[in-house]
Amino acid sequence: MRIVGLTAHRYDLPLHHPIGLSTGLLTTRTGLILTLATSTGLVGRGDVAPLPGFSAESLPEAEAGVRALAEKIVGRTAPVDPDASGMWSDRVARWVWRLELPASVMTGLQAAIVDLLAVHRGETPAQTLHPDASSEVRVNGLLLGDADHVLADATRLRASGFRAVKLKVGRGDVAEETRLVRSVRAVLGPDVALRLDANRAWKEDEALTFARGVEGCDIAYIEEPLRDPSRLVSFSRRSGLPVALDETVSERAVEDLERWRGVRAVVLKPTLLGGCEFTLWMARRAINAGMTAVVSACFESGVGTAGLACLAAALDQPDVPVGLDTYRWIAEDVVEASLDMSHGRLRIADAVEAMRAPLSAHVRLIPLP
């Protein structure tokens, strides 16, 4: 597969509501749409979207990585056999990782390669990653904001058909947070799974107080409640509250999953992990260890979110809702056709069609070598 062109379009997409991050309020989502072209006329897209405060690299550093990538691969033959079965041979893996790119750039590159192969084979990227990929994914609704907004949104998500939601906690007084969790559970009723995400907010005694406060709320799991993640398994045993790994995975501190026996789920964010290859590897290891693997977004564009949906579908866990609802915060997209997950589901064919649609006026071409 000879790469004859690489283009990058910068996007600056306004958000419906500001998002509070450790670096401050995020009001605009920025990134790059990476497009690869081959000598046979194939075109594939990926999203390069470092998230401030979470990604190791900044957007300027990602742009520098894309320029370096263009110098390394344009005009050269990638060791990818479009007609071979499977996606990541050892040869392809060595070639990709030898490029030494920032995680977000690696994510965009791998997504574009998968898309190229899918176009060649006349299939979706999900099928390229796994021949028996699901045709749709369930979507986990995301609750952010003040109590009134959260409760109104929870009511809407339940009425729209969502069967799982995630509530951000750990941002205020523990007693207030437990009251909010109880109120959200009452709104959702017993048929909607409730996940929590604390982003390492608490000391262990605070987390235990919180766990006692939400007892009986049927929590699916809570992501990273402790500032000291090494205590997660023992905390779960003490509190009876199921826990999930998130930041710990992004830090690549999970090479030995055996030590995390007792963790309910592993949240996987390809933009932070460095693409589909490592994410798939981690997901399979987690599933083999009896954990649930949950693919999750970082407020990527429609191109990036569609790629994540394909990756989640390739895990063939049709009943596991995935974290794609960050897309709802994006007010304007890089493609004209928006992704529709308004009823708690996203059809893969529709996502791929949107991902390959013409780019909108909200992108601008950036110069590359």
Task: From 28, 29, 21, 23, select the one nearest 168 (Cα to Cα).
Answer: 21
φ and ψ at residue 295, rounded to 5 degrees: -70, 135
Main-chain phi, psi angles of 154, to 5 degrees: -60, -40
| Contact predicate 218/190, CB 8 Å | yes
- The Cα–Cα gap between 303 and 355 comes to 5
Residue 28's φ and ψ, nearest 5 degrees, are -135, 135
Catalytic site includes residue 168: yes
* Distance between CA atoms of residues 272 and 228, nearest Å: 20
Asked if residue 198 lies in contact with residue 227, where contact means CB atoms within 8 angstroms, the answer is: no
d(CA 334, CA 356): 11
Dist. CA 210–CA 197, nearest whole Å: 13
166 is catalytic: no
Give the active site residues.
168, 269
